[in-house]
Structure 1
Amino acid sequence: MRTVPGPTDRVVVVGAGLSGLACALHLLGAGRRVTVVERDAGPGGRAGRVELGGYEVDTGPTVLTMPHLADEAFAAVGDSLARHVELVALHPAYRACFADGTSLDVHTDGDAMEAEVRRFAGPADAAGYQGLRDWLERLYRAQMRRFIDTNFDSPFQLLHPDLARLAALGGFGRLDRRIGRFLTDPRLRRVFSFQALYAGMAPARALAAYAVIAYMDTVAGVWFPKGGMHALPQGMANAASGAGADFRWSSEATGLERSAGRVRAVRLASGERIPCDALVLTCELPTAYRLLGRVPRRPVRLRHSPSAVILHAGTDRTWPGLAHHTLSFGAAWERTFDELTRSGQLMSDPSLLITRPTTHDSSLAPPGGHLHYVLAPCPNTAIGPSAAVWRDLGPRYRDSLVAELERRGLEGFSASVHQEQLVTPLDWTAQGHAAGSPFSVSHTFAQTGPFRPRNLVHGVENVVLAGCGTTPGVGVPTVLISGRLAADRITAGTGSPSSRNRQQSAAPIPSAPTGTGAHDPS
C-alpha cells in the first residue's frame, strides 16, 4: 500500500462529515495532531441537522447499518460508540408496501423473515429466501476485505483468489437475474434489488456484486440512533475533541500553500493559515479538485447517481400503516429506473422511502407532533431538469408528491403539515454537489474499486481524499471505511490499535438486531 512519505505529525482534515470524523479519530489514535476545518457551524456534513419550528430534522441519511464500523473509529481513541450514542434495533427494518395493496415486513432475523415470506408468498419463496440469505452472507465475505475495505494502488490488486470466489458466486452477473434465481415473486425481488439505486444503477444493469448493499439492509441489521442520525456525527465529534482534535467551525478552506510537491498549509476564508504535514480533503470532489487546482485524469467524464427530492414534514398526526422506514413501491419498475438513469424524466409512478423517526424518539417533534421524511428519487441535473428549472418545478412536484401520498393511504397528509422543508436538486447544487446529486459518483464498473477516483492525488504527495466520491463509495458504512482508509494512507495502517486488530482478523459478519433498546455493537 502506498502511503504519504515524509513527516505526517500534523494533519488537517477538511470536512467534519462522517468520513472526516472517522479519519480524524483514526489519526488521533495513531498519535497525530489533528485539526478539523468545517465550513458549517457543527459536525455532520450530509448528516446534518435543521430545526423547523420545534422539529429536529436530519438532513441526510436516515438508515444506519453496520454500526461496528463507527465503533471502530471510537475504539481508535479508546472510546466506544455505546458511550456516545444509544442505538435502537429496528423491528421490522422496513415495511414494504406495494401498488396491489399488499405489504411485507422486512426482518433482519432469518427465522422471522422466513416466516414473513412464507405468509406473503408461500413456501417456495420462503425456501428461496433462505438460499438468498446464505448467498448474501457469502457474497459479503468474498467482497468486504478484498474489494471494499482496501486501498487500491493498481487494478492488478483485483487478481486474487477472492476474485475467483466472487465470480463463482455470480457476482459479475446482473443483479435482478441473480435475485430471480432465488425468488419468484416480483414484489420480493424488488425488496432485495432496489438497493442498486444507492449505487446509482438500475437492478437490470447493476452487477450482482452490489447485492452486498442488500446484505447490509436485510441481513446485518438496521438501527436508529436516539436523537436522530445526527447523533452519530455529533458523538464522533465529541470523542475526537476529547482525544485532542482542534475543530475550526464556520471555517471554509479557500486555498492551499504548496511547495516541492507537498501542501504546506491550508488557508481559510478568515485569512488564517494552518500549517500541515499531511492533508485530508473530504469535501465534494469538485471542491477538492478546485482547491488542488487540478482535475482528475480519466479517459471519460465521471457519471453521477440519480438525485432525490426530499420533503421534511412536521405533522400533527401520523398513520398506523407506517413503520419507522416504509418503502412505498409504485406499480412501475423497469420504466422507473429508465426514467431516473436514462431518459432524465421524473418518475411517472414513483417508489418512495418514508421515514418516521418519531416512531422511536418523540423528542424530535413538539408534543403531539410527528416527523416524516419522504424521499423521491429523481434524475440528476446532468440528464434531467436543470437546477434552475427546479426553482419553479419544486413546489409543483411537492404538491404532486403529497397527492400521491394521500392516494397511497396517507389521507389528510396535506392538512396535517405544520412545518416543512423541501429539498430539490437546486439545493443540492447550491451545496456543491456535482450534477445536483447528494449520492455522488455512481458505481458503474468503470467507477468502482481501483477504477473509482483514488484517494491519493497524483502530483501532490501528502494529500489524501475521503468521502463518498472516492474509495470505496456511497453510503454510511462505506464513508466510514473511507475515512479509515484515508488515515491508513498517512499512518501506514499500523498506528492505532483498531487498525492493527483489523488487519489481523477476518471480516466480521455483523449479527442482526435481536431486540430493541440500547445496543453496543463493539
Structure 2
Amino acid sequence: MTIIGAGIGGLAAAALLASRGCEVTVIEKASGPGGKARQLIVDGAAVDAGPTVFTMRDVFEALFAECGAELTDFVTVRRAEVIARHAWDAEQQLDFHADPEASEAAIGEFAGAEAARGYRAFRHEAARIHRILDQSMMRGSKISWPLPLMWRIGLWRVADLIAIRPYESMWKVLGEHFADQRLRQLFARYSTYCGSSPFETPATLMLVAHVEATGVWLIEGGMSALAAALVRLAQMHGARFRFGTAAALIEADQGRASGVILQTGERIAADAVIANADPEALASGGFGPLAAMAVSSHGVRKRSLSAMVWLAHARTEGVALQRHNVFFSPDYPREFADIRAGMPPVDPSVYICAQDRDAAEPISPGTRERLQIIVNAPANGDTHTYTEEEKAQCTLAMRRSLERCGLQLETGFPHTLLTPNAFESFLPSTGGAIYGRASHGWAASFLRQGTRTRIPGLYCAGGSTHPGAGVPMAALSGRLAMQAVLQDLASMRRSHPVAMAGGMSMRSASADATV
C-alpha cells in the first residue's frame, strides 16, 4: 500500500501497517519527514517551525509498543514542570504547573480564593468532558450526532450527552467559572489549539485544557525528532520512504483506488492509498479528478486560523521565559474581530516557544536562543498577498505586545517570517489554514473528514481529519487509517470484487465519509 505524505499521521499509519506485515511505501514531496513538524534554519540554528506542545504521551507509547519497541529507546522525553508562563503586562504573570494543585495555589495567589475554587470546578468539568469523549470519539472512528454518539457512550447516559455542552460557546461557559477576565482569557486560548475562536467554539473543547493539565512533555530535538523516530520505527519493519518525490494523481481501477502516479510519470501500484494531506488538497483536484470526488470541501468560511510565525534566533531581555509562554492582548474580543475582518490583530496575543529553555544546560546570559513566535491570523493566503509593509507592521505589533508584558527582543533580530501566503504554499488549497476545518458550531467536530472516503481503497489521515488537530490526534488518525485498511482488505478477501460502471462505488450506510 502507498501513503502520500510523511506527516505524523502518515508516519503512524506506516509504522503500524508495516509492523503487521504490510508492504508500505511512503511518498513525501519534502526532503525529510514530519510534514508540519519540520525545522528551518535561521542564523545557522535549526528552529522548530511546526507544533511545539507534546501531550497524550500514552498515544505514542502504545504505538511504539504495538510495533515491538519503546518510545524512550528512540527519543528522550521528560516532563515539563512548568506547563506554561502567562503574562498580561510586566507585573501580572501566572505559571501553570505539572501538578494541578500547584496551579490551583498559583491561581489563588494571583486572583484570589474564589478564582481558585472556579479553577477547581473548571478542571473537574473539563475532565468529565474528556472522560466522556476520549474513547467514544477521540480514539474511535468518526461518528454522527447525536444518536451514533449516544450509542457509543451508552444510550442511557443522556446526562453525559448534555454534559459535553455542545450548544454553548467556550467563552460563555468559562464565564461561569471565572469572574476574573484574565483567567477567562487564559482558558479561552485552548480553542486556538485547534485553530478556532473561543467566541464560536463549543464549550466541549474545554477538554483540551484537561489534556494539557495531565502532562506536557519535552522532546529532545523537538517534534522533528519524533518524526524521525517514527521513520526508523517503520523502516525496522520494512517500510520504504521516498523523500523528494511528489504525487500527482491517485488512480483507480473498477471504482477502487489502485495506485499513485508520481510527477515524474512513474506509477506505484497499491491495493490501498492513504492520503496524509489536507482534504482540501484532494477536494480541489490536487491529486486528480478521482480524489476530488472522494471528499467534500468545507469551503472558505469554515477554515481554521492561520498565523504569522517568526522563526527567530535572538537575544531577549526582561521577563524570564519558560519553554511555553503566552503574552495576552488587553482586548481579546477585538483580537478575533480583527481576524474575522480578514487582517492580523492590531494588538495581538503572542505565543513564544523558547526551544532552548528547560534544556539540560541553561542558556548563558546575552546569548541568542531559538524562538518560535506565533500570532493568530486569517487563512487568506490564497486571496491576499502580504506586502513587506504589512509584514513590518505585524512585526511591530508583535514586539509592542511583548514589550507591554516586559519582554524585549534584540533590535534587528535574525528571523524568518512565515505568513498565510507561506502556509498556503506549504498546504495548498487551504489559504494557509493550519488546522483544517475550524471547530465552530456544535456540529463542527462531527463534520471533519473521516478516515474513509467515497472511493473504496482511498483513506485520509492527518491533523485536518478526524479526530482533529495536534500531534497526538494526527497519530490517532494514522491508527484509524491502519484499522480501516486492514478491515477493508480482510473483507475483500472474503468476498468477490464486483465491477461497477462509472468508476465509482456506492456508499454504504456505515461508510465513514465526508458529510
TM-score category of the 2 structures, normalised to the smaller one: 0.7 to 0.9
| In structure 2, distance between residues paired with 1:363 and 1:237 | 28
Contact 1:66 1:477 in 2 (8 A): yes
**1:461 Cα shift?**
0.6
Structure 1: gaps spanning 5 or more residues: 1-10, 496-522
Q: Which of 216, 231, 239 matches 2:233?
A: 239
| In structure 2, distance between residues paired with 1:403 and 1:164 | 46
SS of the residue 2:52 aligns to:
coil
Superposed CA deviations along residues 208-235 of structure 1, whole A, max 9, x for unmatched, are 1011111122x11111101112111111
Cα RMSD of the aligned pairs, angstroms, is 2.6
Superposed CA deviations along residues 370-409 of structure 1, whole A, max 9, x for unmatched, are 1111101111217xx9442345522442244234433432
Equivalent in the alignment of 2:150: 159
Contact 2:90 2:406 in 1 (8 A): no
Contact 1:56 1:364 in 2 (8 A): no
Superposed CA deviations along residues 260-285 of structure 1, whole A, max 9, x for unmatched, are 01122212123322111101001122
- Shift in alpha-carbon separation, 1:370–1:163, aligned structure 2, 3 A: farther
| In structure 2, distance between residues paired with 1:239 and 1:378 | 36
- Shift in alpha-carbon separation, 1:73–1:36, aligned structure 2, 3 A: same
Equivalent in the alignment of 1:283: 277
| In structure 1, distance between residues paired with 2:71 and 2:489 | 22
Q: What letter matches 2:453 in structure 1?
A: V
- Shift in alpha-carbon separation, 1:286–1:181, aligned structure 2, 3 A: closer
Structure 2: gaps spanning 5 or more residues: 491-515
Equivalent in the alignment of 1:26: 16
| In structure 2, distance between residues paired with 1:298 and 1:157 | 23
SS of the residue 1:376 aligns to:
strand
Q: Which has the higher contact order (CA 8 A, sep 6+)?
A: 1
Equivalent in the alignment of 2:353: 355
- Shift in alpha-carbon separation, 1:140–1:103, aligned structure 2, 3 A: same
Q: Work out whether 1:436 is the aligned partner of 2:432.
A: yes
Q: Please give the residue correspondences for 1:307-346 in structure 2 after superposition, counting only pairs within 5 Å.
A: 307-317=306-316, 319-340=318-339, 342-346=340-344
Equivalent in the alignment of 1:393: 390
Contact 2:28 2:246 in 1 (8 A): yes
Superposed CA deviations along residues 428-472 of structure 1, whole A, max 9, x for unmatched, are 1111340222222111247634322222121x2101001122211
Equivalent in the alignment of 2:94: 104
Q: Which of 245, 250, 262 matches 2:256?
A: 262
- Shift in alpha-carbon separation, 1:114–1:403, aligned structure 2, 3 A: closer
The two structures have a TM-score, normalised by structure 2, of: 0.86
Q: Please give the residue correspondences for 1:365-384 in structure 2 after superposition, counting only pairs within 5 Å.
A: 368-381=367-380
- Shift in alpha-carbon separation, 1:24–1:447, aligned structure 2, 3 A: farther
- Shift in alpha-carbon separation, 1:298–1:353, aligned structure 2, 3 A: closer
Q: Please give the residue correspondences for 1:133-144 in structure 2 after superposition, counting only pairs within 5 Å.
A: 133-144=123-134
- Shift in alpha-carbon separation, 1:411–1:59, aligned structure 2, 3 A: closer
- Shift in alpha-carbon separation, 1:126–1:320, aligned structure 2, 3 A: same
Q: What letter matches 2:112 in structure 1?
A: G
Equivalent in the alignment of 1:506: none
**1:164 Cα shift?**
4.0
Percent identity reads 27
Q: Please give the residue correspondences for 1:458-473 in structure 2 after superposition, counting only pairs within 5 Å.
A: 458=454, 460-473=455-468
Query: Once superposed, which parts of structure 1, at least 4 consecutive aligned residues long, lie more than 6 Å away?
Result: 298-302, 362-367
- Shift in alpha-carbon separation, 1:65–1:336, aligned structure 2, 3 A: same
| In structure 2, distance between residues paired with 1:299 and 1:52 | 35
- Shift in alpha-carbon separation, 1:348–1:394, aligned structure 2, 3 A: closer
| In structure 1, distance between residues paired with 2:251 and 2:24 | 18
Equivalent in the alignment of 2:50: 60
Equivalent in the alignment of 2:408: 411
Equivalent in the alignment of 1:520: none
| In structure 1, distance between residues paired with 2:349 and 2:89 | 10
Equivalent in the alignment of 2:223: 229
| In structure 2, distance between residues paired with 1:300 and 1:388 | 20
| In structure 2, distance between residues paired with 1:437 and 1:222 | 25
